[in-house]
Structure formats: structure tokens, C-alpha cells
Amino acid sequence: MTRKPSTQLSKNLLNINFKIMKKFTHKIILISVLLISFSCDSNKNKINEINIYSQRHYAVDELQYKNFTEETGIKVNVTKANADELIQRLKLEGESSPADLFITVDVGKLWQAGDMNLLQKINDFRVTKNIDKNFLDPNDFWIPITYRSRVIVYSNERVKENELSTYEDLANEKWKNRLLIRSSSNSYNQALMSSLIANLGSEVAEDWSRKIVDNFARDPKGNDRDQVKAIAAGQGDIAVVNSYYIGLLLSSEKDEELEAGKAVSVFFPNQAEGERGAHINVSGIALTKNSPNKENALKLIKYLTSPKAQQTYVDNTYEYSVIPSIEPNEIVKSWGNFKKDNLDLNMLGSKRNEAVRIFDKSGWR
Amino acid sequence: MEINLIKLKKNLKSITSVTLLVALVLLPVITLIIGSINLDSSNFNYLWDHLLIDYSFDTIYLLFLTLLFSLLLGILPAWFISMNKFRGRKIYDLLLYLPLAIPTYIMSFSYAEILSYFGPFQNLVRDYLPNFSNIVNRDYLQIEVLALLLSFSLFPYLYAACRISFSMIGNNYINLSKNLGLSEIKTFFKVGIPLSRPSIFSAIFLISMEVLNEYGAVSYFGVNTYTSGIFRAWGSLADINTASLLSVFLFFVVFVFFLTEKFFTNKYKYDIKINSSSDHKFHNTNLKSLLIHTVCLVIIFFSLIIPIIFMINNAFIVSDNIDLDNLILLTKNTILVSLISTILIVITVFGIQFLSRVSSLKFLRFTSNLISLSYALPGAVIGISLISLFSPINDFFGFLIIGSFPVLIYAYFIRYMAVAVSPISSSFEKISTKLDDTGKNLGLNPFKYFSKIFIPLNKKAIIIAFCISFVDIMKDLPLTLILRPFNFDTLATKTYELAVEEMITESAIYSLAIISFGFILLSVLNLTQSKS
């Protein structure tokens, strides 16, 4: 839509030469200004469109948007970038922002956008009726679309399942030089730490963090898959990773990834009687404060949380559906059901600053 | 004094246009400085107290190692190829630029996988040298390995600068050195290196900026640089103002280095006779040929062949799922924006350098070099400062200038200008100022002087500047991510999106497209160059 004018602009700029420039400076300036304004999107309220700022960039998202467009005729425009950048862009653009929806893979960022007054509430029962109530935002600023757990994986060779119990137990001395986990700048780890602060208090969380650092098999590095590979390579025995990465490894077309996936098993922590359950985080969607196409945006939210779209998510990713009746992918199902931590998910955002400070104080790089 | 004033008046137009352009380039920096004034100091003090000393140590160590490796990888082959005639010289020359087309994070992710426990390297050792399998089973995600990998994709900056410089060192110097009985090694140290000091410095400046702004590979390796601090403030502590202030600090540190560099390189001014292109001046013995081939082949093998084979293999593994139409679309997008920006950049940089040259004003020469400084800021920070710069225009005119092509191209323009400055200014420095007087004596007007003398003499530098800025813009990530129009992807953004989701296999085809296009571009330009 915006491509053609800018090609003209480039041709125009190319044709400029010194002589013409002298004679026609004024005209050139005028033409350039016109061209620039044409190549900008001058009409942000086009009827059948929605504009999304998204942190998610999975292939399944494109599929969902395509299906939605086929069903409703509404065109979906997406800009994908890092959540912090998108939040900042939303803030700076203010009232003239073209964005209708904001999608992230970490609920902490949704909380932050809400906290910065960039979102508007969604009080539509039709949207939320299918969703497990435990996932919903008490403040109505965001809607969950999928969830995942941050689980413990352990070496099939060197660890027995009954040695594992809770996140808290990872601080036990028996794991000294055996624990693998990535850097504290990773938002999934920050969310986990926030949940510990919310559940156990900051003192306990800080003490836990120090002991975890003592148990590190190596300095934090690499991504979640690398922690699993490091177990397979014998560099450590247990790791903390997001559940879907194990699914990705086990379904990989590469032998080396398959082997790494097979070398470990998944363990959901804090499952015993009276325990709070395993830590979860959601991918979620929110309506921006100045959404120019609000009606269409609500339609998309409703679509993404519909049983049909939720089925598409579990068919194409290793995430869990937010509708309780929809079963996950076969590989994920084989790990069994688990009890989820029912903490208000907004805590994963509001405790974030404190979590980062605890990481730094305890030397978790 | 009076003469100076006349000079100033005469050059008023040049001064205004250069200053305006430089201001245009530094606008985001100025916005940033203003933006960081209203700061909540708690996060800043916190970072300062807890992390920055630690981070600075990693930064300096990483910088030192990367520069060291890049110097080794860049200067030596540049000398061999400029000064010797041997079979395969042209193809080596082409291939040694190419690693620049591999984004640093792709280079690092690829090698991390190649070296991992189940990766091809350890598999080979287990199969053929089982006794060594325990020795090679180690954690390769180390800062030293990272430095080596960064230098694999950054050394071409040095190679390019040295190639221009070495091949423009005139016959006279080389012959004089030979007549004095200096060996090639001595000529290298006594003539080649000292005469190329400004070029080497400008390439070192670029590489340092790349290392300082690198975030993907650095965080993957668990190394914390100063930029990690900026992103910790922004991402983890949700404090953009502190992030801006840290960026401004970084900018000033770089500025001080920049001044020091200018101070030192200004001391070395040489008149180098042109018309005496000095390619292949030294005689080759068999042993020396062997050395030359080994050096070039080893560098090409590790920085180019291995990662490319790895990517081709990955592309084959997922070949059933490749969306060819999308690949073509993304390639078109990438080429379109890169081409427009590169042309603008090369014309502007050349123009500015030329104006400051003919005016022979020190002030202008200094100002014209300031444009390199926008490279000192992390791309994401420039992106945000451009958004804050343009959001009032958004509000005022009601059309969306943020997320439009002109702004994206403006962003590329200001950020990647530095890349073109290095080769072009190295080339200008090698052209004798006596030539300026000759031009004046011949009665050539500046325009003719420009087209008849400066363009032909700097053709090689223009071509190299064009290529490396083009390749750099093709790889751009942070600016494209945040400033691109809706539904607009480039090869680099697609590569990154997949790689960051730990789908390095799926990303291979897109990085291969970047590399292939870089290859085609360089080959075509090489051809035209050798014909002329």
C-alpha cells in the first residue's frame, strides 16, 4: 500500500543532479514534501483494518491472522519488534498511534503497558467466557491467548525423578555445580523470580537466589535449548526452561536436537498436596488506549480466544490453550496434567523491578 | 586574519550545507540528550553502583580481543593481495569482503551449534578421534570465543580500509624502500603500516562501534557489555530515561576517542603520488606463495566457508517448508530500502568530503568527520529517539510519518553514513593536496574538478563504500524492527525473528539470501572494476 510512492521517491532522488537542483530548488522541495506525505499513511481510520504491535513472531500467528481475514474480511497489519520498544513507541506516539492491539509473550510487559496508561479495559463477556478464570486479568487490561510453564528438566542418566520437588528445593546443596539456567536479563527468569517474591516474600527470594547462584554448573549463558543441550553434554544435571522448548526439541528435524530432547525428562515443580503449583506465564493481547479501529480489534481478540483459533495454537505450537477443554499437542500431553500456580499474573510485572535488583544483588548475571 | 575571513566568505555555501547535513545526522543524539535530562536517578544510581564497573571490564576485554583478532585477520591478507601477484588473487580479494554479509549474531549462533556437544565438530571427533572426545567436550560459550567470532564477521572493515590504503601507496615509496634494501616484511612495518595509520584507525573505530552496539551475540554468550547495561535499564528496569542517559555517556566516551584519533592521525599527513598504482610489487618465492595461500585460505575457510556450509545444510533440512514467494518478496524489500539509502549515503559522504577538501578549512574537515559519530549509539536507541523526534509531526499533520519509508530511510542514512566515511576518507587522504593546486592552475571549476579528477581517482573507494554500506544496511536489525511500516519484513528481520525464537535452522535460508546478494553485488562490482 505504501510501497509504490516510495519507489517514485527513490527515482526522483536519483534523478536529481546539480544543475536542476539550482534552477528548481523550490519545486523540488515542494515535490519531495508531497511525495513524503503520500508515502506516509495519511488515513489511519481505514474501515476494514486492524493494526497490531506484536512481540510474538511465530508462524502460527500469521496463520491465525490469515484465517481471521478470510472469515471477516478485516485486513490485519502487523509490526513485530521487541516488547520494550513497542511500549515506548506506543507511549511516544500517544493519541496519533495507529496501533489497535498490543501482543506480548510475557504478561509482565502487558502489566507494564497498563501501568503506563497505554491500554483500555476490555469488559466484554463474550470475549472472556471461554477462558479459564485463573488466567484473567482482574483489572481487565489484557486477555491471555496461550500459556506455558517454566519447568525443571533433568538428565535421564544422572537424576531420579524423586530427587526433585519444588523451585525452592533447587537451592539445596545437593544441586551444587549441577544447575543450568540462563541469564537474569531473560524475561522468563524475571517472571519466575517475581512469582517467588509474590509467593514467598523478598527476603526468602533473595536467599533463594544466592543459593541458586552457588549451585550454578556454569555462568548463565545461551538460550533455553542450550541449557538442555548442556545437560546432554554432561555440563550439568538439571535446568529450568520453558515447557514448549522441549516440544520443539523433540519434534526437531535435526538429529542433534532430537538427541538432546531425548536425554532429558520434564518435571513440574511444586505439585504436592498444599503446594502452590508450577509457575506459568501467558502470551496475551491488549487493546491500546487510542485504538482507531476498536470494533475490529475486539473481533480479533474474540477470534483468537475462540475454540477454533485455540485449537490452531495447540496444533501448531507446544503452548497450552487458555480454554480448559482444549487439549495440548501430543508431545506436551505426554508430560501429564499439572497444577498451576494461581497467583495474580499481574504480580509478574509489578514485582519485576524488585526481581531484577535481587538478581543483581545475588550475582546472578 | 583577513585571508581567513575571505576564505570563510568564499566557502559560505559549503560551510552551511555541510553543517546542516551534520546537524541532520546528529539530530537523534541531540534529542536523546534533551530527553535524558528529566531523569529519575534511582535506577541510574543503582546501575552505576552495582553493574557498570563489572560491565565495563567485560566491554574493554571483549573490545581488546576483537580488535586484536580483526587486526590479524584483516591487515595481513590485505597486504599480500595489494603487494603480490599470484594465482587466485582476485577470487581471494572478493571472498575476503564477504564475511561482512554474515550478521554477527548468526555467525555466533551458527558456531555455537557447530561446536556444541551434538554438533558436527564434536560428532566428527567422537567418530574419528574418540580419544580426544573428552578434551573437545567443553563449554564454548566463552568471551574469548565470542571475540573471535565477532572478528570473523567484522575484520572485512579492516581488510577494506587497508586494501584501499595499501594499493594507493605509490610506487615511489615502495621503490625507495626496495632501493634502501628493505625486505617486504620491513617495508610492511616501516612503510605500509605507518602510511595506512589513518585508514586502520577509522576501521578500528567502526569495529569498536559494532562491538559496543552488539547485543544479540553478546547476551547469548552471557557476556555483559556496556550496551547490556543500557538494555537492562530499558528492558528489565523499564526505565528508558536511564537507558538514554547511559547512551549519551557512551556517546561522549566515543567522542573523546574520536577526538584523540583525529589528533593523532592529523599528525601523519602524507602526499602520496597517484598514477602509480602499486599492486603486486614484490617477487614471490615458493615458500612465500605457500604462506600467502595458507593465510588467505584459513581465514576464508573459518569466516566464510564453514558458516555457509552449515547454513546450506540447515536450509536443506527444512527445504520442504521454504516459502519461496515470501523469500522473493523479502529480498525485494531488502534490496529496495538498502539501495535507496546506500545511494543517498555515498553521494552525501562523497559530497561532504569533497567540499571540505576544496575549501581546505580545518573546521569543515573536522565537522565532516562528525557524521561518523551517530554510529556510536545502539540502533534501538536511535530508533526510539527518532520516534520521539517525529511524534510531534505525527500529531501536527495527522499523517503517520513514524513507520513510513522516508523515516526508515532517514534512519539508515544517518546510522550507516559512518560505514561509507571510512573508505572514502581513507582514499581522499591518499590524494595529494598538490593536485588541488594543479586543478586550480588548470582553471577547472569545482564541478569539473569533482567529476574529472575526484570521481575517477576515488572510484575504488566509492565502490567499496557502496558495497559495505549496502551490505550493512541489508543486515540492519534494530532500526528496521522499530521503524518499519506495517507488514514490512526484510531478510534480516526474518532471520532474527526465527533465530531469537531458537529456530536457527529455519532462519538459514534468509541469512543465505543476504550472503548471496552480498556475493553477487561484490562480484559484479569487482568485474566492472577490473574492466575499467
Task: Provide the sign of the torsion angle of the four alpha carbons B118, B119, B124, B125, taken in this order.
Answer: negative
Average pLDDT, rounded, for chain B: 83
Q: What confidence tier does B458 reach under pLDDT thresholds 50, 70, 90?
A: confident
Three cell numbers at B232?
A: 537492562
- Tell me: pLDDT of A29 over 70: no
Beta bridge partners of A337: none
Q: What is the mean pLDDT of residues A109-125?
A: 93
A-chain residues within 8 Å CB-CB of B119?
256
DSSP letters for B465-528: HHHHHHHHHHH--HHHHHHPPTT---HHHHHHHHHHTT-HHHHHHHHHHHHHHHHHHHHHHHHH
Contact of B192 with B166, CB cutoff 8 Å:
yes
Chain B residue nearest residue A92, CA to CA: B388
Please give the residue that has the higher pLDDT: either B299 or B230.
B299
Please tell me which of A235-249, B236-250, B460-474 the model is most confident about, judged by mean pLDDT. Answer: A235-249
Between chains, do A7 and B228 touch, taking CB under 8 Å as contact?
A: no
Look at residues B505, B504, B423, B507 and name the one whose alpha carbon lies nearest to residue B469: B423
Across the interface, whether the CB atoms of B384 and A353 are under 8 A apart is answered no
Spatial neighbors of A298 by CB under 8 A, at least 6 apart, are A122, A124, A127, A287
Q: How many CB pairs under 8 A join A and B?
A: 181
Q: Which residues of A touch B485 (CB under 8 A)?
A: 2, 41, 79
CB-nearest partner of B141 from A18, A221, A356: A221
Over 70: is that where the pLDDT of A20 sits? Answer: no
* Contact residues, chain A, for B219 at CB < 8 Å: 183, 185
Q: How confident is the model at residue B425 (pLDDT cuts 50, 70, 90)?
A: confident
Return all residues near A109 (Cβ < 8 A) that are at least 6 apart.
Answer: A55, A83, A84, A87, A187, A349
Does B523 score more than 90 pLDDT? no
- Interchain proximity A14–B343, CB inside 8 Å: yes
Give the closest of B141, B482, B503 to A222, CB-based: B141
Using alpha carbons, list the distances in angstroms from residue B107 to A269, B147, B209, B354, B480.
36, 11, 18, 37, 20
Least-confidence region, from A79-83, A285-289, B36-40: B36-40
B137/A218 CB distance under 8 A: no
Cβ contact, residue pair B232, A356, below 8 Å? yes
Which pLDDT belongs to residue B234?
Answer: 84
pLDDT at position B465 over 50 = yes
* Residues in chain B closer than 8 A to A253 (CB atoms): 317-318, 505
Helix axes A243-250, A224-232, angle to 10 degrees: 60
Examine the pLDDT at A7 and tell me if it is beyond 80: no
Residue pair A118/A290 in contact (Cβ under 8 Å)? The answer is no
Give the separation between CA B220 and CA A151, rounded to whole angstroms. 21
Contact residues for A1 (Cβ-Cβ < 8 A; gap 6+): A41
**Structure confidence by residue, pLDDT tens digits, B157-193:** 999 888 888 877 766 777 777 777 777 787 888 777 8
Residue type at A76 in one-letter notation: V
- Of the residues A80, A182, A228, the best mutation for testing chain B's interface (the one with the most B CB atoms within 10 Å of its CB) is A80
Average pLDDT of the residues in B142-149: 95
Q: What is the pLDDT of residues B485-519, one digit of tens each?
A: 999 999 999 998 888 877 888 889 999 999 898 88
Is residue B62 over pLDDT 70?
Answer: yes
Give per-residue burial for A224-238: e unless 16+ CB within 10 Å, then b. Answer: bbbbbbbbbbebbbb
Grouping H, G, I as helix, E, B as strand and the rest as coil, residue B343 is: helix
Judged by CB atoms closer than 8 Å, whether chains meet at A223 and B119 is answered as no
C-beta atoms surrounding B434 within 10 Å: 10
Out of B219, B232, B399, name the one closest to residue A41 (CB): B399
Give the torsion sign (CA, B197, B202, B207, B212): positive
Question: pLDDT band at residue A16, thresholds of 50, 70 and 90?
Answer: very low
For residue A242, list its beta bridge partners: A150
Q: How close B103 comes to chain A (CA, Å)?
A: 18
Task: Examine the pLDDT at A34 and tell me if it is beyond 80.
Answer: no
Q: Checking DSSP bridges between strand A49-54 and strand A101-104, what pairing results, if any?
A: parallel
How many angstroms away from the CA of B118 is the closest CA of chain A?
5
Which residue in the block uniquely carries the three cell numbers 542450550? A226
Above 60 in pLDDT, residue A285? yes
Q: Alpha carbon of B56 to those of B46, B251, B396: distances in Å?
A: 15, 15, 42
Using a CB-CB distance cutoff of 8 angstroms, which residues of chain A are in contact with residue B405? 2-3, 6, 9, 39
Nearest CA in chain B to A112: B238
Min distance B503 CA to chain A CA atoms (Å): 9
Q: Which three cell numbers stand for residue B132?
A: 580426544
pLDDT digits (tens, 9 = 90+) for B334-346: 999 999 999 999 9
Mutate to test the interface with B, among A22, A25, A88, A257 (most CBs of B within 10 A): A88
Residue A6, min C-alpha distance to chain B (Å) = 7
Interface contact A235-B139, CB threshold 8 A: yes
**Share of residues in chain B with pLDDT > 70 (%):** 91
Contact A39 B123 (CB under 8 A): no
Judged against a pLDDT cut of 60, whether residue A6 lies above it is answered with no
Nearest to B116 among A96, A229, A255 (CB): A229
* pTM score, whole prediction: 0.86
Higher-confidence position of A44 and A68? A68
Confidence of residue B5 (pLDDT cuts 50, 70, 90): low
Q: What is the DSSP letter of A324?
A: T
Residue in chain B nearest A229 by alpha carbon: B117
Q: Which chain A residue has the Cα nearest residue B139?
A: A235
A41 and B380 in contact by Cβ < 8 A?
no
| Closest CB to B485 among A2, A80, A257 | A2
What residue of B is the nearest CA neighbor of A11?
Answer: B340
DSSP characters over B224-254: --HHHHHHIIIIIS--HHHHHHHHHHHHHHH
Query: Using CA atoms, how far apart are residues A230 and B117, in angstroms rounded to an integer?
Result: 8
Spatial distance between the Cα atoms of A328 and A340, rounded to a whole number of angstroms: 15
Taking residue B435's Cβ as centre, other Cβ atoms within 10 Å add up to 16
Q: In whole angstroms, what is the distance from residue B135 CA to residue A37 CA?
A: 62
